[in-house]
Structure 1
Amino acid sequence: MADTAFDRRTRRSRVWLVVWLTGILAIPLSLYEAVGLIEAERAKAHKQSFYQYVVEHRIGTLTEIDDGTGLSPVSYVLSVAHPPPPADWEAFAVRMMRLYATFDHGQLLTIVTSDPRTGRQRTIADAAYDARRGQMSVTVYLPDGRVQHAVLHIRL
């Protein structure tokens, strides 16, 4: 039985369809594999994460803040049940931000606590680290309503 031009075109179309589908499926699979390799390298490079540090030292709980766009850096909100005295809030925020930047290359950290009398959550401090400039910016919200802002030059 002789192949007609229609049969050849049909066979060629099916072959191209299989090639395209294979290519389309290969892209997500290769991305999945690449992400797995990146995570494995990151795990080797960082023996401990900021989350593990907070849990092991019973500092508080972490909530990840992610806008879902992939454009903004991932940040954490650290909720502390027993905050240090207000005079030590800046040092505490600097220490936590330094650990977050060291362990996870974090850029933004907010530290909050709950007022035991009212149950309302209040922000203790906001910290941001810019690795490119080696600069940490810390804003502390004191109980009397004053706001302290400090810019520190720190290379990690």
Structure 2
Amino acid sequence: MSLCQLLSILEVFHIADGIEKARLLPRFIQVMEKNILLIMVIMLEEIQSKPVVCAQFFLWNILDLLRYPHELLCVMERPSISMLWLRYSLWIPLYILSVANEGVTVYQAMPYMEPSASSSAYIHLPFLLMLYLSLLTVGASLTVWQLLKERKHHLEKRFKRKKKK
């Protein structure tokens, strides 16, 4: 899973090269957020066996299964109304669940991070994780707001085009 997630960095290059039509900064932040979670939290042996990690992988994969077929059909210029609806409707509650689960994962990892924090460091790792959780909450709120705007835009555009035909 770690290798697959690290390869997701290619998504950023696909956007930069114009292969995929998406905003670069939000996707970059999303990819880096997932990679940070994998590197900082899930690599801890004590956390790997927790159910929240399995749930996180499941949610990430479901989100990708909703996004990638839609993107592929758009690249092939064969967009599907059902894939469009799934991508922009089902994706939002799943994203919220994923972020909430990610917060629980980070929270559950905090007790295991304390012993590994350097005593000479001015800022302990659990403090940084609390800051991360705060930023995650703000970022997720902005992302959901943006997803709702995108959903309205794409679905209205698609249904207007369908009515004209």
The TM-score normalised by the length of structure 1 is 0.27
More helix by share: 2
The TM-score normalised by the length of structure 2 is 0.26
